[in-house]
Amino acid sequence: MIEVTINGGRRRVDVEPDTPLLFVLRDTLGMTGTKYGCGIAACGACTVMMDGQAVRSCQLPIDSIGGAKIQTIDAIEEDDVGRRVVEAWVDLQVPQCGYCQSGQVMAATALLKETPQPTDDDIAAAMTNLCRCGTYNMIADAIRKAAG
């Protein structure tokens, strides 16, 4: 049994220690808001926050998390910054197919926690998640809006 803190709750899971957090979330815990896109940390669909930092959970072995706090998209509206990001996403109608957007919202929330007033360069540096629907400009606009 491995214990992790997810969205404020302690969860015990019976998985191999090298299991990526992504599949613990999706398969073991049934938390499917976090998406599988590439499995090699190339797309960002699986982004969660670990102690407030954006991490790609497909490359995060469950046994490396220790006492760090994991936040996922499922509880994003319970986070002050996350809620603002979601509202901006809704206001500007960012998602199209939506599949990448869990990861985009998490990456944006992590960025704004660290840098409340990001410059365009900050946005470019932090927001490297792929979007096949090409919503990049809307995402940047929504981040600026959420920053206020």
Partner 1 sequence: MDTRSIENGATTLSRRSFLGASAGVFVLGAVLPMRKGFAQAQGAAEGPAAIAAKPGTKVSAFLEIHPDNSIKLLSPFVEGGQGISTGMAQTVGEELDVDPARFVVECAPPGPDYALVNGIRMTGGSYSTRSSYPVMRQLGATARDMFLRAGAARLKVQVEELSTEDGVVIHAASGRKLTYGELAAEAFQLKPAENVPLRDEKSFRYIRKPFPRLDVRDKSTGRARYSIDQHVDGMLFAAVVHAPFFGTEPQSIANEAEAKAMPGVHQVHKLPGAVAVTANSWWRARKAVEALDVTWSEPKPTGLDTIAADFSSDAMLEGLRSNTAKGLSAEEEGDADTAMKNAAKVIEADYHAPYLSHAQMEPPSALAQFAADGSLDVWLPNQMPELFQKVAADTAGLKPEQVRIHSPILGGFFGRHFVYGPANPFPQAILLAKATGRPVKVVWSREEEFLNDALRPLSHTSFRAALDADGNVTAITARTVGEGPLGRYFGVGPVDSSAVEGIVEKPYAIPNRRMEYVKLAHPVNIAFWRSVGHSMNDFFYEGFLDEVALAGGHDPFEYRMKLVEKSQRHKTLLETVAKLSGGWKRGPYEAEGGKRARGVALASPFGSETATIAEVSLDGDGVRVHNLWIAFDPGSIVNPAIVKAQVQSAAALGLSAALVEQVVYGKGVRRDQNYDTYQILTREMMPKVLVEIVESGAPMGGVGEPGLPGVPPAVVNAVAALTGKRVRSLPLANTSLTGA
Q: Which stretches of the chain bind partner 1, using CB under 8 A?
A: 15-16, 19-20, 23, 26-28, 30, 32-40, 42-43, 45, 72-74, 76-77, 86, 89-90, 93-102, 105, 124, 127-140
Residue 147 interacting entry, from ligand FES, partner 1, none, C-beta within 5 to 8 Å by type: none
Shortest Cβ 119–partner 1 spacing (Å):
15
Of 4, 14, 25, 22, nearest to 68 (Cα)?
A: 4
Return d(Cα 51, Cα 55) in angstroms, integer.
10
Of 59, 62, 58, 77, nearest to 7 (Cα)?
A: 77
Residue 141 interacting entry, from partner 1, ligand FES, none, C-beta within 5 to 8 Å by type: none
Question: Collapsing DSSP states into helix, strand and coil, what is residue 56?
Answer: strand
Task: Give the residues lining the site for ligand FES (CB under 6 A).
Answer: 36-39, 41-46, 56, 58, 95-101, 131-133, 135
Q: How far apart are the first and last CA of the chain?
A: 43
